[in-house]
Amino acid sequence: MARRIIHIDLDAFFVSVEQVENPELKGKPVVVGGRPEGRGVVASASYEARAFGLHAGMPLTTASRLCPQAIFIQGSFPKYRDASQRFMTILTDFSPYLEPLGLDEAYLDATGFESIYGSTHQMAVKIKQRIKDELGLCASVGIAGGKVVAKVASELSKPDGLLEVAAGKERSFLAPLPIAKLPGVGRKTERKLNGLGINILYELSIMPLSALKSHLGASGEVLHRFANGIDDREVEPPATAKSISRETTFSKDTRDRPLLKATLHYLGERVGAELRQRGKRARCITLKLRYADFTTITRRHSLSQSSDSDQTIFDTGLGLLNKALAEERQAVRLIGIGVSNLVESGKQLDMLDASRERQEQLDRAIDRIRKKYGFTAIQTGRTLKLKDVFPQSDEGYTLQTPSLSR
């Protein structure tokens, strides 16, 4: 049976949640991200704000210059997390084959569901309607034979869209689109391909594979398949979800090592808490830094043993930080830490090691207290420095990158 994959993505998610709570914001240029004079970036912009050129990732100062009348909202992550959970719950009513991507996006495998809903198109209409009725939010939906084309279709249909690519028409649907529309073609790849005279997906799809591989390495092969509309990746349920990360932008670029360390420690604790809550351990730790000139680097370290301990996350992150700071003299604008290569928690052989066992017990005891009294109820000595830097609430410190203050 031909596969039918649905990709669904909520429109201007953070902003729309704010508009449901405060209907006066509807139809206006609204930005979630922080104060216009702040140093963070736009997390979400309403479509009215986008008409002025605003988009996610744009510095807030630029956004307020382009659209001074925009309404700027700090945002609150717990609110978006709740809306996201309700959104995912609606989707699981339609298909158990659900792969959430971040908070406001998911793939559904709808193969074989035609008989229940009449058609995949009808199923998508019903999903959109329930989201509208129960959450007050608009969603855009793409339907195709594989994930990548479904995602391109939903993006193209925004806002409040529904676009189905008929079976077998994937390649011709993609052909006229600019290469940047294809997930996996980032800025760098786009520039490289443009340099080779490749501007639309048709040109990418007919490029000899060997030439593409010599320019892009292994990812060339995947992009070639995608450009030809070929994508047989399965819809993977959330148990196999891949990474957890936290990051924040400082209110002033900084070289202050104790501050960088304390922030890294706090972010690492947030990552560790979620990792344990999900019952996972990580094999890989990644540090992210953005410097004053916006250059962004990531540095990765693979652990010999998977871990879910705050101490290991922090120690590894700190090792990466020290190395990165030795290589680059610029001040730091943003710092983040993440874990990936997640595996199910389970006792490991070296859990017999007494010091590790103690560390595990300590992490879990702290998790329990925090669950009851709030994240900052317990603070390790290393993060106390943050008291003077970030405002505090029960949920923890309110970081500059509000979407990530969780």
**Site residues for ligand TTP per CB under 6 A:** 9-14, 43-44, 56-57, 103-105, 158-159, 403
For this structure, is 105 an active site residue?
yes
Least separation in angstroms between residue 16's CB and Mg ion is 9
Rounded to the nearest 10°, the torsion over CA 112, 118, 124, 129 is -140
| Residue number with CB closer to ligand TTP (159 or 237) | 159
The listed partner (Mg ion, ligand TTP, none) that binds 375, CB under 5 to 8 Å by sort, is: none
| Residue number with CB closer to ligand TTP (73 or 179) | 73
Least separation in angstroms between residue 287's CB and ligand TTP is 19
| Residue number with CB closer to Mg ion (139 or 223) | 139
The listed partner (ligand TTP, Mg ion, none) that binds 158, CB under 5 to 8 Å by sort, is: ligand TTP
- Give the residue among 27, 14, 20, 9 at the shortest CA–CA distance from 139: 9
Location of structure tokens 């010599």: 214
The listed partner (ligand TTP, Mg ion, none) that binds 382, CB under 5 to 8 Å by sort, is: none
Cβ atoms of residues 242 and 342 within 8 Å: yes
Bridge partners for 201 per DSSP: none
| Residue number with CB closer to ligand TTP (84 or 376) | 84
**Alpha helices in 42-143, H assignment, sequence order:** 47-50, 60-66, 77-94, 114-117, 120-135
Tell me which of 8, 9, 320, 324 binds Mg ion, using CB under 5 A.
9
Contact status: 104 vs Mg ion (CB under 5 A): yes
The listed partner (ligand TTP, Mg ion, none) that binds 57, CB under 5 to 8 Å by sort, is: ligand TTP
Strand pairing class (105-109; 98-101): antiparallel
Distances (CA, A) of 264 to 179, 256, 335, 337, 406: 36, 12, 7, 7, 14
Tell me which of 7, 13, 31, 264 binds Mg ion, using CB under 5 A.
13
Least separation in angstroms between residue 15's CB and ligand TTP is 6
Dist CA 73 CA 30 (whole Å): 8
What string of DSSP letters covers 235-270? PPPGGG--EEEEEEEEEEEE--HHHHHHHHHHHHHH
Least separation in angstroms between residue 137's CB and Mg ion is 10
- Give the residue among 36, 68, 30 at the shortest CA–CA distance from 48: 30
Location of structure tokens 């595996």: 343
Least separation in angstroms between residue 11's CB and ligand TTP is 4
Q: Considering 18, 48, 105, 360, which one is annotated as catalytic? A: 105
Bridge partners for 392 per DSSP: 397
| Residue number with CB closer to ligand TTP (8 or 262) | 8
Contact status: 80 vs Mg ion (CB under 5 A): no
Bridge partners for 100 per DSSP: 106
Least separation in angstroms between residue 102's CB and ligand TTP is 6
**Total of chain residues touching Mg ion, rule CB under 5 A:** 4
| Residue number with CB closer to Mg ion (155 or 367) | 155
Burial, 69: exposed, middle or buried (Cβ in 10 Å; 0-12, 13-18, 19+)? exposed
Question: Nearest 5 degrees, angle CA 56-CA 57-CA 63?
Answer: 75
Which residue ranges make up the site for Mg ion (CB under 5 A)?
9-10, 13, 104
Q: Which residues are catalytic?
A: 105
